[in-house]
């Protein structure tokens, strides 16, 4: 009985794995295929698309924009979300529940609604759309994730480490910098990385809030309409996929290192 279950389960796991990975592998395979059409049989191996990728200035520009937006919005989201996390994990204050409810609301709001609301705000304030407006949108959606990840980490540690530091004469802000922040560091780094990947991939907000400068997903989207440009889009996809996997493995490793040291002190 249990043996049958085991084999059935394994079979199902492999089937689902295939279903989930095959489309991704397909993109990677086609990025090396020597044909404009994305059809089988494959025509032969080529690096032509990768060479063209290096010369596609518009695309490289878009990638640079995405990188910049990802960096800035993740740093801001990490700082703001981290501060909020320390506040909610270390203090009980009137309005704490209210703050928590509002701060986690971006988790459940459909992106198209948030995008439209921000678009209207910027138009009402006569703020021209630019990379900055996208950064603001991405910061809003990343803040709650950072807050929850860091707060979860902090609530795993009791206050007594911080109390000990203060007893030994450290100031509050000194304690914050030298005890609280190091405790939260693995969570902060993990939150930063996941914010970055989120921002780098995000399409809906960027689509509505982009001015004359595109992000990579917005650029890719604009290319999907032209069949002749599909190979280049697929090749970009392949590059992004490979980079994402490396970042993912790195952040997973960091998370492992972070949680393995978790002492449930007190």
Within residues 217-246, the interface with other proteins by CB under 8 A covers 217, 220-221, 224, 230, 233-234, 237, 240-241, 244-245
Among 111, 129, 189, 254, binds other proteins (CB under 8 A): 111
Among 53, 72, 118, 191, binds other proteins (CB under 8 A): 118
3-state secondary structure of 33: strand
Give the count of beta carbons closer than 10 Å to the beta carbon of residue 25.
12
Q: Which stretch binds other proteins (CB under 8 A): 43-51, 52-60, 118-126, 184-192?
A: 118-126
Among 60, 67, 71, 80, binds other proteins (CB under 8 A): 80
User: Judged by CB under 8 A, does residue 92 bind other proteins?
Assistant: yes
DSSP string, 36-78: SS--SSP--B--HHHHHHHH-HHHHHHHHHHHHHHHHHHHHHH
Contact between 150 and 194 (Cβ < 8 Å): no
Of residues 119 through 138, those in contact with other proteins by CB under 8 A are 119-121, 123-124, 136-137
C-beta closer to other proteins: residue 1 or 54: 1
Number of H-type helices and E-type strands within the chain: 12, 0
Tokens of 88: 């909610």
Of residues 139 through 198, those in contact with other proteins by CB under 8 A are 139-140, 143, 147-148, 151-152, 154-159, 162-163, 166, 172, 197
3-state secondary structure of 240: helix
């Amino acid at each position: 009985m249990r043996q049958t279950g085991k084999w059935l389960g394994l079979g199902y796991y492999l089937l689902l794995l295939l279903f989930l990975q095959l489309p991704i592998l397909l993109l990677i395979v086609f990025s090396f295929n020597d044909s404009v059409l994305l059809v089988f049989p494959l025509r032969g191996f080529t690096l032509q698309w990768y060479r063209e990728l290096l010369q596609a200035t518009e695309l490289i520009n878009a990638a640079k924009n995405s990188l910049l937006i990802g960096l800035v919005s993740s740093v801001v989201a990490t700082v703001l979300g981290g501060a909020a996390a320390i506040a909610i994990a270390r203090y009980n204050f009137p309005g704490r529940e209210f703050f928590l409810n509002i701060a986690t609301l971006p988790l459940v709001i459909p992106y198209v609604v948030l995008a439209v609301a921000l678009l209207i705000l910027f138009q009402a304030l006569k703020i021209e759309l630019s990379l900055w407006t996208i950064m603001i949108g991405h910061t809003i959606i990343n803040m709650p994730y950072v807050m929850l990840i860091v707060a979860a980490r902090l609530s795993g540690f009791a206050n007594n480490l911080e109390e000990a530091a203060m007893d030994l004469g450290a100031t509050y802000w000194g304690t914050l910098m030298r005890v609280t922040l190091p405790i939260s560091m693995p969570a902060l780094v993990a939150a930063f990385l996941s914010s970055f990947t989120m921002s780098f991939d995000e399409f809906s907000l960027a689509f509505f809030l982009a001015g004359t400068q595109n992000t990579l997903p917005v650029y890719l989207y604009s290319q999907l309409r032209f069949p002749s440009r599909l190979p280049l889009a697929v090749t970009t996809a392949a590059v992004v996929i490979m980079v994402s996997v490396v970042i993912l493995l790195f952040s997973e490793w960091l998370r492992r290192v972070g949680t393995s040291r978790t002492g449930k002190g007190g």
